[in-house]
């Protein structure tokens, strides 16, 4: 089968460009040849070693990472919505979170060997624990700007989700509300604290614990349980529900991002 016209043009360009290695690498992991190679170069610039533009301004991949995060959320949400037509919103949200969480994206980024192409001050594990996941989000942002939503969606579903996630296994995985909440706060670099606020006894004199969860200095929710672990889970579930349903509270929490920068 003859390659499409756009691929033929890209192949011809490849004969004359100076960034042949990056062109080939991007095509290998996305399935598309870059139109604007500068976007992909920027996607691989870590904030620890910013790039100076011709106008003197310093830049890195964080803006592309922000954009790619949003595109990933939408593409995965749409895919799960179609795959599981009878599942409720909570299930869809939980499953999406397992795919787009930082640890998952970091694993996929490592499989793509992104770190070997990232411009960074150091590649030590301590400094760049999520360098692969961050670069993957930035790469998605680059594909979106370069090829539009349809192709970025194809990249996400065909090259990321289908090849690196077992949906059946994700569905079988036991829900852990505390882990999900911690993963969400890590994704946005927010602090989280569990505070024991009360200990009481039920009618049978069994001890009951009440725990509050604090996100970025904001009270999120509290939960009770017959163990501290159970109270943490119940508080986390309520906090997750509030983050998904209370837009005002979610905005207040995320505003902490701007204050920390």
Given 38, 62, 65, 69, the catalytic residue: 69
> Catalytic site residue 69?
yes
Range 224-259 burial, b when 16+ CB lie within 10 A, else e: bbeeeeebbbbbbbbbbebbeeeeebeeebeebeee
> Catalytic site residue 137?
yes
Contact residues for 219 (Cβ-Cβ < 8 A; gap 6+): 212
State the CB neighbour count (10 A cutoff) for residue 111.
14
Given 137, 168, 230, 259, the catalytic residue: 137
Task: Say if CB 99 and CB 165 are below 8 A apart.
Answer: yes
CA distance 156 to 153: 5
Alpha helices in 84-176 (DSSP H): 89-100, 102-111, 131-147, 149-154, 162-164, 167-172
Could you give the residue numbers annotated as active site? 69, 137
């Amino acid at each position: 089968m003859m390659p499409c016209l756009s691929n033929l043009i890209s192949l011809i360009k490849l004969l004359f460009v100076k960034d042949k290695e990056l062109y080939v690498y991007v095509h290998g992991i996305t399935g598309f040849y870059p139109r604007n190679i500068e976007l992909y170069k920027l996607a691989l610039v870590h904030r620890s070693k910013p790039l100076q533009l011709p106008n003197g301004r310093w830049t890195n991949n964080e803006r592309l990472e922000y954009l790619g995060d949003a595109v990933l959320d939408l593409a995965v949400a749409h895919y799960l919505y179609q795959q599981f037509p009878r599942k409720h919103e909570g299930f869809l949200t939980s499953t999406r979170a397992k795919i787009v969480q930082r640890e998952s994206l970091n694993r996929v980024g490592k499989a793509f060997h992104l770190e070997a192409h990232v411009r960074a001050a150091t590649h030590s594990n301590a400094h760049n624990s999520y360098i692969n996941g961050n670069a993957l989000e930035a790469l998605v942002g680059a594909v979106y700007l370069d090829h539009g939503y349809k192709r970025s969606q194809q990249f996400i579903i065909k090259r990321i989700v289908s090849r690196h996630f077992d949906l059946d296994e994700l569905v079988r995985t036991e829900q852990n509300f505390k882990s999900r909440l911690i993963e969400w706060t890590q994704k946005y670099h927010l602090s989280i604290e569990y505070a024991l606020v009360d200990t009481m006894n039920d009618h049978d004199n069994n001890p009951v614990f009440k725990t509050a969860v604090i996100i970025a200095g904001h009270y999120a929710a509290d939960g009770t349980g017959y163990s501290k672990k159970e109270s943490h889970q119940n508080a986390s579930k309520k906090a997750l529900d509030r983050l998904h349903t209370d837009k005002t509270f979610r905005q207040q929490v995320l505003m902490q991002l701007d204050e920390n920068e």
